[in-house]
Structure 1
Amino acid sequence: MIKKTVRGLAAAALTALPLFSATPAQAAEALSLADAVRQLPLAAESREGYQRTSFKHWVDADKDSCNTRMEVLIAESRVEPTVADRCRVVAGEWYSYYDGVTLTAPGGLDIDHTVPLAEAWDSGASGWTAARREAYANDLGADRSLVAVTARSNRSKSDQDPATWLPPLADARCTYATDWVSTKLRWGLSVDQAEADALAELAEGCGQETVEYEPAV
């Protein structure tokens, strides 16, 4: 089973802002993957009115000169990354768990929204405020929300859900399903029937996976 790299190098930089984190009253939930799938609300999806610009992303939320993309690159590098002026990450070592590829140049990486922006819109974000959509698009408060992966794998995925796309590396699929479900629960997003069925089928073969999440505020 593939384990995602623990974000350690930039722990201080990634201290969650209030917009992205749970309040003290919101304790982290921990469920089996199968139980977590059953917790997801079922609803039809609609993409009416969606525009990618509805989700302002790659912002510098904590005003430290590092935007969200750079924060994730710094956090997920397996070695201390090389960071140039104005927080430009120019080198490091990243493992793209979707396809099992290791890269040392950030230009080959995309920062993937585990649950794509369009899918989030379809699943409830269309009714959010602009501020909440910005918080979602730049969620540094949960390791599972954003992940550095090869541009090729991310663009293959596009805005698909697990009913139509899974990581090409079979050993990554349980981790991916867990990341997906955690993100949807964290943000209170729904699933459609085909998506729910695909996740339930995945969960049957992923008995060791635990979904842990803190509701976003």
Structure 2
Amino acid sequence: MDQADHPQNPGRRAVLRASAASGMFFAVGVAPAQAAPAASAAGAPTAAVPARPLTLRINGAEHAVELDVRTTLLDTLRNQLGMTGTKKGCDHGQCGACTVLVNGRRINACLTLAVMHEGDEITTIEGLADGDALHPVQSAFIARDAFQCGYCTPGQICSAVGMLAEVRAGWPSHASSDVAAREFALDEVEVRERMSGNLCRCAAYPNIVAAIRDAAQGGRS
């Protein structure tokens, strides 16, 4: 035996042989064990979420749908019922494009589940007009040219209708000088504050504000 390979004095060859043996052990013995959990997880069955029958009252009419209980009101309106006037913008409740009215109150349809609104009165942009007669807010938006691309317009209008109802009910805003007052003058500052949850990427805000003030002063809201 070469002195370099003596058990008490292992040489370079012995070290290389030991390293090679260790590598074979880990390559053959450990890798399959690590791959087993991944294969098991991939083959595990996924429990299906059952669809639930639901009746929603929208724009004065009842609509029967069957949907996953995790479906938002926005997706139900657009994908299940074909009411595409309500727009999907950010899908995070930040832009207001999906604003609808529920029992007269404005909400973001992307932040609520459809199953939460069985029995509620839901109004979308399609339900604001009375036949061929436009809602005063709709008419004011046209008269003031309060839109450009128009994508945010349905949410702006629905939000304005709900906001004007809040003003009539005596709700103050952060811009109100006297929060205890029951009547508020809808000046530009008040309108901008109360409509701050609805964004317009085209920046048609001056005309939007003017349209809302016109509707507040001259027609039903």
TM-score normalized with structure 2 length: 0.25
Name the one with the larger helix percent.
2
Structure ID, larger Rg: 2
